Structure 1
Amino acid sequence: MANTASTAANTSLASVTLEVADLDAARSFYRAFGVDTYIELRASEAQSDGFRGFTLALTVSGPATVDGFIAAAVDAGATLLKPATKSLWGYGGFVQAPDGTPWKVATSEKKDTGPATREIDQVVLLLGVEDVKATKEFYVGRGLSVARSFGGKYAEFTSGGSNPVTLALYKHRALAKDLGVPADGTGSHRIVLGGAPGPCTDPDGYVWEAAAPSTAS
């Protein structure tokens, strides 16, 4: 009988690789930020200007933990894009890593129910796309399963295996507005995804590689 975890790993996002100009500096930053186990890094000099089209988002337990992660990122060299604030959905803010990658840190809680921690509940990779429905169908046709979908605004895929990052789709301009940056951008996305759809390039130019073969028996 097929192993359920192995099957899930074969039909979900298996890895997220950020392409960075300074590999050593990026490694140091992501260790200090506390997210180094969620991503892989690769040296690249690919040209990239403006909004790269995606955001990596951390969901944590409460406002104090949000503040702690944002402070750690800024102390390690990140740029504060949006200070953490309360909203209808909770509390959160945005930073941009020294390599240019935008990160959101948020919680659905508006008040702390305990002390700040360095624990992460979920990491989501939000790809900004022009047509959520069309791109969703592209991925479904290549083996991914939809976990949640809200019309043409948002789609989230089932995660599985050892990879802790959830893949989701969001409207490109809405994602840029959320970040507080202009939606225009040129050149490389500076991100490479690994998993079932690869090797391929999706309708919005995001590059996928085939997942590395599992060494598990």
Structure 2
Amino acid sequence: MATTASTTAPVSLASVTLEVADPEAAAVFHRAFGVDAYVGLRAAEDAPADGFRGFTLALTVSGPATVDGFVGAAVDAGATVLKPATKSMWGYGGVVRAPDGTIWKIATSAKKDTGPATREIDEFVLLLGVEDVKATKQFYVERGMAVAKSFGGKYAEFAPGTGSVKLALYKRRGLAKDLGVADDGTGAHRIVLGGTGASFTDPDGFVWEGEK
């Protein structure tokens, strides 16, 4: 059951924290992968989590060579490839699962390199897989978040908040298919969203921790 934030101040996404079994090992992976400045880590509680956790973290980069560089760094650090980097009608990208179980997508809208590979991240996005995109979008709109893009009941993207991460909503089944995994999953999401204002839980069980 979702709870409502007891504040009239607009909510914005300021940070993302992953709950992992071994924070030290996860930190080593994040440094090697190149995302340590974007994600917080803390020890997971005993709550079980099985199957698809209902979200992915996505990196948008400049070109295919940079995608390959990030995928290669992740694999070298222990990640498993779920979808090899390849061209699509949208650009070029691949999907990996980190040793802690988090799914990462690395993509670019460019199909050809216009410069050398870099280790720069142009955009960092948290994609939540939700049962009802329209309803969850409205939930966040009522908390003051501004919609930047919306495609019916399939996808919605919010204007960036105060942090370095953008929030977007995707139909859960569609997101799982895009990532190359089954959409079944139970238990904890193993992710906490840091936001402005009070703490709350959204309609799909994603927990927001407000300012202390």
TM score, norm. by length of structure 2: 0.93
Q: Equivalent pairs: percent with the same residue?
A: 76
Residues in 2 aligned to 1:203 and 1:210: alpha-carbon distance in whole angstroms:
17
Q: Which moved more, 1:31-40 or 1:192-201?
A: 192-201
Mapped pair 1:79 → 2:80: yes
Q: Provide the residue aligned with 2:189 in structure 1.
A: 189
Q: Which secondary structure state, in structure 2, belongs to the residue aligned with residue 176 of structure 1?
A: helix
The letter for the 1-side match of 2:14 is: A
Q: Provide the residue aligned with 2:70 in structure 1.
A: 69
Q: Provide the residue aligned with 2:5 in structure 1.
A: none
CA contact 1:29–1:77 (8 Å) conserved in 2: yes
CA contact 2:10–2:145 (8 Å) conserved in 1: no
- Deviation (angstroms), 1:141: 1.1
Residues in 1 aligned to 2:77 and 2:164: alpha-carbon distance in whole angstroms:
23
The letter for the 2-side match of 1:202 is: D
Q: Provide the residue aligned with 2:109 in structure 1.
A: 108
Residues in 1 aligned to 2:208 and 2:49: alpha-carbon distance in whole angstroms:
18
- Deviation (angstroms), 1:197: 6.2
Residues in 2 aligned to 1:178 and 1:197: alpha-carbon distance in whole angstroms:
33
Q: Which moved more, 1:24-33 or 1:194-203?
A: 194-203
Residues in 1 aligned to 2:114 and 2:198: alpha-carbon distance in whole angstroms:
42
The letter for the 2-side match of 1:83 is: P
CA contact 1:197–1:208 (8 Å) conserved in 2: no
- Deviation (angstroms), 1:10: 5.9
Q: Provide the residue aligned with 2:95 in structure 1.
A: 94
Q: How far does the alpha carbon of each residue in 1:15-74 deviate from its partner, in whole angstroms, 9 at most, with x for none?
A: 101000001000000011001111111101431100000010000000000000000000
Count residues in correspondence.
Answer: 203
Q: How far does the alpha carbon of each residue in 1:177-198 deviate from its partner, in whole angstroms, 9 at most, with x for none?
A: 0011110000000000011364
Aligned Cα root-mean-square deviation (Å): 1.3
Structure-2 change in CA distance of 1:174 and 1:211 (3 Å): same
Q: Provide the residue aligned with 2:204 in structure 1.
A: 204
Structure-2 change in CA distance of 1:198 and 1:180 (3 Å): farther
TM score, norm. by length of structure 1: 0.91
Residues in 2 aligned to 1:25 and 1:198: alpha-carbon distance in whole angstroms:
31
Residues in 1 aligned to 2:129 and 2:106: alpha-carbon distance in whole angstroms:
17
- Deviation (angstroms), 1:143: 1.9
Q: Provide the residue aligned with 2:51 in structure 1.
A: 50
Structure-2 change in CA distance of 1:207 and 1:105 (3 Å): same
Q: Provide the residue aligned with 1:175 in structure 2.
A: 175
Q: Which secondary structure state, in structure 2, belongs to the residue aligned with residue 93 of structure 1?
A: strand
Residues in 1 aligned to 2:57 and 2:198: alpha-carbon distance in whole angstroms:
20
Residues in 2 aligned to 1:197 and 1:98: alpha-carbon distance in whole angstroms:
33
Q: Which secondary structure state, in structure 2, belongs to the residue aligned with residue 85 of structure 1?
A: strand
Q: Provide the residue aligned with 1:38 in structure 2.
A: 38
CA contact 2:56–2:105 (8 Å) conserved in 1: yes
Residues in 1 aligned to 2:99 and 2:141: alpha-carbon distance in whole angstroms:
34
Q: Provide the residue aligned with 1:127 in structure 2.
A: 128
